[in-house]
Each structure stands twice: as C-alpha cells, then as structure tokens.
Amino acid sequence: MAEKMEFQTEVKQLLQLMIHSLYSHKEIFLRELISNSSDALDKIRFESLTNSAIACDPDKLKIRINPDKESGTIVITDNGIGMNHDELIANLGTIARSGSKAFLESLSGDQKADSNLIGQFGVGFYSVFMVATKVEVLTRRAGSEQAFRWISEGEGSFEIEEASRAETGTDIIITLNDESKNYAEIWELKSLIKKYSNFIAFPVELKKAPEWKDGKEVEGPVEFEIVNNNKPIWTRSTSEVTEDEYAEFFSGACGGFGKPLKTIHTKAEGTLEYSSIMYLPESISPFESNNIERKHGVKLYVRKVFISDEVKELIPGFFRFVKGVVDTDDLPLNVSREILQDNPMIKKIGKALTGKIFAEIKKMAEKEPEEFAKFWKQTGTIIKEGLHSEYEHRDNLLEIVRFNSTVGGDENYLTSFKEYVGRMREGQKHIYYINAENYATASKSPHLELFRANGIEVLYLTDPIDEFVVPQLYKVEDKELKSITAEDLDLGDLISRDEKAEKKEEKRLGKFLEGVKEVLESKLENVRLTYRLKESPACLVSGAGSMTAQMEQMMRAMGQPVPESKQILELNASHPIVNNLNDLYGKDPKNDQVQEWITLLYEQALIAEGRQVPDQTAYLNRVNKMFEAATKNA
C-alpha cells in the first residue's frame, strides 16, 4: 500500500509560489530535469570509483527523452545513481534541499574540481509542475535491488510505493497539462535541448521523428538519436580547435551571420576561472546595427548548462555585435538559475572579456589596417555609442574610434585622434571637425576652404551619433574639439589676417550687407563678411544654440518637431558674385531681380550645408530664370 505524505516545509504554499513565480519561462523545466539527470550520472561515476559494489561503465551513461504526443506525456530516463526510499523523501519531499549540493560538499577538493554537478538549490525539479498535472518518478538506487515510485500532482502532497525497475537509474514520467501539450512535440524538445543542454557532459538521446510515406506514418521500432554536442570546443586548447570548427561554432551555437573575422579563445585560471570563445563578426545585420535595445550575443553557461544571454554585466552594449560563450564553474546563481545575483565575479569576468575585445580590436587596427577598416565600417556607429553612455570605457574607446579626414584621399582612409594630434600644426590648440550627412557632403563643404589653404586637418563626422558624442568629449589628447562651422571660429596664429583690410571691406559692403539682412530677415540671425572662404561666395555658420543640418534631419526622421533656429550667413568679400550683387544693389536697392539673386545665394549656401531648400519650386524657378537670361545673352 502506498504511503501518502505531505511535503516537508514550514509553508505548504511555497510549492505553488515556486511553480508559478520562480521561473519566467515554462520551458526551463526541461533544462532543470536534464541537469538533475546529469547530476545523477555524475554521482554514479564518482561512487563507482570508491565503492566496488556499484558498477558503472562511463561510456554507457546517458539521458533519454521519449515524448508521446497522443498521450501528452514525456519520459526522461537516466542510468545514474538513482534514489532509495529515504532519499526520495529527502530530495523530492523536502523543498529546497539539494541532494547534489550535499553530495558536492562531501567530495574532496580534487573530486569537487572534476565534478560537473549542476544542481545546488533543490528546487529545479519542481519547475516540472509548471507544465504537468502529474509527475511520477520511478527510481532504483545503485547497489540496491528495490525500486520505488514517487507520485505527486504538485498540490502539497506526494505518494511513495515499492515498485520494480530492471536497472539502476531513474524515470521521470510527466503528464502534461492542456496548456503545455506542445512540449510533447519532438521538434520542440530538440530545440530546447539545443538551447539549454547542448553541452552537458553526457549524451542526451531524443526519440526520432517518425517517417511518413503516402501520407501515413511508417510503423516500426522506436529509435533514438543523440541531439546534444557534449564536447564544447571552449574546453579545448586553441591548438586543438581547427578554423573550420571555430567557424561552425560561430554560425551554429552562437547564431553568427556570415563568417567570423576574429576569434578570441580564452581559458582563465587562478582566482578568476572561466573559459570563453568570442567572435568579432565579418558582417553585421542591419537589425543588430540599428536596434540599441537588442541583447548582446554572448551566452553565459555554468558547468556547460546555458543560463542566460541577457547578463548585461558581461558585455557592454556597444559590443552587442560580439558573439560567443563564457562558461564558469563557480558562479553563484539564485534559486531559479535564471537571474544572476549581483556579485563581483560577473563584473570581473565582464571586465576581463571586454578587455580582451578591446585588445583584439587595437591589435587589428595596428597590424591589419585594411581588415580593421572593413570592420569599422560595419561596427563604428555601434562602438561610438559607448562614448555617450559608458564613461568607464572612454579611454579605450578613444583609442579605437576612427574618422574620415581631409588628409585622406577618399572615404576608405581612417584616422584616430592620436594620429590627428600627431599631425597638428605647431601652435594648433584644437582638433577641428565638421558634421555632415556623408563623406561627399563633408569633403565639398565651403567651410573647408580656409583649412585646406592653411594645411589644417579637419575630421569628417558623418555618423548620426557623432552629433551626440563629440560635444560630450570636449577634450581628447588634451586638445579641445571645435566645429569649423561654429560662429566663434578663431584660428589665431595659424593663419595670417589683415584686420585693416577686413574693416575696409566691411565699410565698402556695409549697405549691401544691410540689404541682404532686410531681404533674408525672417530666415537668418545675422549677415556678415567672413575670412573663412576662399572660393565660395557664401556659407552658413551655426549661431548660438542652433542645430546642425544633420541633427535637424535626425529629428525629422524620428518624427520629432524641429525647433526654429536661425543661422548666420557669411559672405566672401573677394568673390565676384558678391561684388557684382553689391554693384547692382548700389544702383537700385529695390531691384526685384537683385532680391531674387540674394535669396538664391542663401539657398545655394543651404544646399552646400546639406540642408533642404524650404521652397524647392521657388528655388527651381529662380534657377530657370537665370538659365533663360544666360542662354539669351550667350
């Protein structure tokens, strides 16, 4: 006759609390039960070494999973240590008592280091009641002839009765509830095994899907296949792993896209022990590039069991494109093995991993500049996010960030801040830059004319995120960053200026400047002469608090209102267009055609700045009138 007993706990409701609140995903139950079976296999392997009464062939240890879709059941079988009557009560009848933990504590130091035991808290088994209406455990302890059956519906009590089992080990028979029938599907179980238990130390066999012919299932014996890869390559030395194996692991286990560009394989020993393989990808999908909320690609394992890919402390967000795994034996987890406790080990591992990634990128930049250029084109925008949000990594980031520059002949040329500073002219106090939508717009900006004429290098900031991060940097390499479109641009002794001549020009063109202000009063903050132009007739500079063209475009793209901001129009006193308009204005300040040309001059400056002309139809009409007049008089 079966014995009926209540679970041993001070609060019976604790069981329901754990079943329904402890785990965030129901699918976790399979990971927990496979982990328990793995522990049982580990135990019999150890006990057979010290107890001659317990026989064990290590090569035959395995876990087998047999789902039945029609009956809505799953049977998980192992040929591990099994349990006797008292162990069933102690391990399955006492919540939060872990047999694995007690066994681990009994081992010597060397034995403990070799053990792959996973369970620590004694609550993982109860996760099965998230998906089950009833659970039976048929088990026979190694060294005993008597088997026992444990039965519970997860309502606060369980039954134990004598039973028979031909061999040592345990069967867990799960009757699925109506909401969880999908877990009897072979493809679903295979997916979960691959996700959570792919690298445990023992083979996991799953029933093969039946064959179909002419729309009917072919009858035959039930067959099983091993679905896990129980040889994780991160446990092997780098000399033992081939490039093909690394590439296969990248695309298979890590979900990488394309091929890995660089592989970082680490086995840390000492006070901080972990193994890891991380990849810098050769190419990145647009989704990874654009979605800053996306979780990173480094998966955390504890004793080869997948725990999470959402441990933010492992990899900073600006390295979210990095793929890989990290596995450790000593990480303290909470009872559900899902959410990590805030502990210094995770932070130390994360710091070490991040340092390895920085070192590999710096090495590539120095030794393989062409490879680095391709890598930066894919990842640069993402990495620069760190300058905005991760101050602790600022120094490392500043070493690897790159920009186009006036020094390079095309957009394939990249330079660092350090290289820029090394080329600065004597007496130069600032690092100069220009924001633009793309390389072509930046390289053709009229603002560059003065700098090119005087051999002063300018960085091109063409990523949208540059708008946010560069102003926050303020100083790099002890040099202040300065936009060449700023209103208060002062190159000091880097250029020679004739202030007397400038004042003379201001007097000569004074009335015309007032006329331009009057025509463009609603569009501009001010109109003045400039010394920064050599070839172009006019340019726009940013007034105090005004937005750049790129910032305005970003806000419009995000559907945000763009506040009105007026710029300053600067005119080149030596340019023929400006002087011709001055002469025409002097003859007839109210001439409609002169006013049209003044507006056109402003619109051309807008276009050079990368901004939109407010009224494109009116702009085209003005251009067409000029064409008409020019062709008529040709």
Question: Could you tell me the CA-to-CA distances from 634 to 282, 535, 576, 630 in Å, in that order?
Answer: 56, 25, 19, 6
How many residues belong to the chain?
634
Q: Sign (positive/negative) of CA torsion 546, 548, 554, 557?
A: positive
CA nearest neighbour of 526 among 558, 485, 569: 569
Secondary element (H or E) of residue 187 = helix 186-196
**In terms of DSSP H, where are the helices of 236-368?**
243-251, 286-290, 344-367
- 339, with CB counted inside 10 A (0-12, 13-18, 19+), is middle
Top-tier CATH class for 3-226: alpha beta
* Residue 348 near residue 34, CB atoms below 8 Å: no
User: Could you tell me the two tokens for 208?
Assistant: 């093969």
User: Could you tell me the two tokens for 514?
Assistant: 């007032």
What is the C-alpha to C-alpha distance for residues 37 and 100, in angstroms, rounded to an integer?
Answer: 11
The mean pLDDT of 418-431, rounded to a whole number, is 94
pLDDT for the residue 489: 83
pLDDT for the residue 294: 58
What is the C-alpha to C-alpha distance for residues 128 and 33, in angstroms, rounded to an integer?
Answer: 8
CA nearest neighbour of 87 among 50, 47, 116, 57: 47
Lowest mean pLDDT segment, chosen from 205-219, 431-445, 497-511: 205-219
Band of residue 601 on the pLDDT scale cut at 50, 70, 90: very high
pLDDT tens, position by position, 255-307: 887 889 999 999 998 888 899 999 999 888 766 666 555 567 899 888 888 88
Q: Give 330's contacts (C-beta < 8 A, 6+ positions apart).
A: 273, 345
pLDDT for the residue 20: 57
Give residue for tokens 């009335």: 511
pLDDT for the residue 16: 59
CA nearest neighbour of 494 among 427, 541, 443, 540: 427
pLDDT for the residue 346: 85
Beta strand pairing status for 475-476 and 479-483?
Answer: antiparallel
Maximum mean pLDDT: which of 82-96, 163-177, 519-533: 163-177
Backbone angles phi, psi at 85, to 5 degrees: -60, -50
What is the C-alpha to C-alpha distance for residues 38 and 42, in angstroms, rounded to an integer?
Answer: 6
Cα-Cα-Cα-Cα dihedral of 443, 444, 447, 450, to 10°? 80
Band of residue 548 on the pLDDT scale cut at 50, 70, 90: low
Q: What ranges do the domains of the chain cover?
A: 3-226, 233-369, 403-494, 501-547+554-632
Residue 48 φ/ψ region, left for φ over 0, alpha for ψ in the -120 to 50 degree band, beta for the rest:
alpha
Band of residue 8 on the pLDDT scale cut at 50, 70, 90: low
User: Could you tell me the two tokens for 263?
Assistant: 């592989």
Helix axis angle for 576-587 and 510-519, nearest 10°, is 90
CA nearest neighbour of 165 among 185, 183, 142: 142
Q: Can you name the CATH fold of 501-547+554-632?
A: Four Helix Bundle (Hemerythrin (Met), subunit A) (1.20.120)
Question: Could you tell me the CA-to-CA distances from 250 to 143, 245, 254, 467 in Å, in that order?
Answer: 44, 8, 5, 34
Among 3.30.230.80, 3.40.190.10, 2.40.50.140, 3.90.180.10, name the CATH number for the domain at 233-369: 3.30.230.80
Task: Provide the 10 A C-beta neighbour count for residue 342.
Answer: 8
Q: Residue 27 has what DSSP assignment?
A: T
Lowest mean pLDDT segment, chosen from 262-276, 399-413, 578-592, 603-617: 603-617
pLDDT for the residue 111: 46
pLDDT of residue 155 exceeding 80: no
User: Could you tell me the two tokens for 229?
Assistant: 């890869």
pLDDT for the residue 61: 95
pLDDT for the residue 230: 67
Give residue for tokens 């179909």: 212
pLDDT of residue 480 exceeding 60: yes
* Strand arrangement of the beta sheet that strand 224-226 belongs to: 3-6, 157-163, 147-152, 132-140, 169-176, 73-78, 63-68, 204-207, 224-226
pLDDT for the residue 279: 95
pLDDT of residue 107 exceeding 50: no
The mean pLDDT of 371-391, rounded to a whole number, is 91
pLDDT of residue 183 exceeding 90: yes
pLDDT tens, position by position, 80-102: 999 999 999 888 866 544 444 45
The hierarchical CATH code for the domain 403-494 is: 3.40.50.11260
The mean pLDDT of 525-551, rounded to a whole number, is 82
Question: Could you tell me the CA-to-CA distances from 596 to 398, 529, 540, 593, 613 in Å, in that order?
Answer: 48, 20, 18, 5, 14
The mean pLDDT of 456-483, rounded to a whole number, is 89
Helix axis angle for 510-519 and 592-609, nearest 10°, is 80
pLDDT of residue 463 exceeding 70: yes
pLDDT for the residue 100: 43
pLDDT of residue 222 exceeding 70: yes
3-state helix, strand, coil in the chain (%, to 5): 40, 20, 35
Q: Sign (positive/negative) of CA torsion 551, 557, 561, 564?
A: positive
Q: What is the mean pLDDT of the chain?
A: 84
Maximum mean pLDDT: which of 64-68, 502-506, 555-559: 64-68
Q: Residue 61 has what DSSP assignment?
A: -
Lowest mean pLDDT segment, chosen from 250-259, 394-403, 561-570: 561-570
Lowest mean pLDDT segment, chosen from 135-144, 240-249, 336-345, 510-519: 336-345
What is the C-alpha to C-alpha distance for residues 359 and 375, in angstroms, rounded to an integer?
Answer: 15
Backbone angles phi, psi at 170, to 5 degrees: -145, 140
Band of residue 218 on the pLDDT scale cut at 50, 70, 90: confident
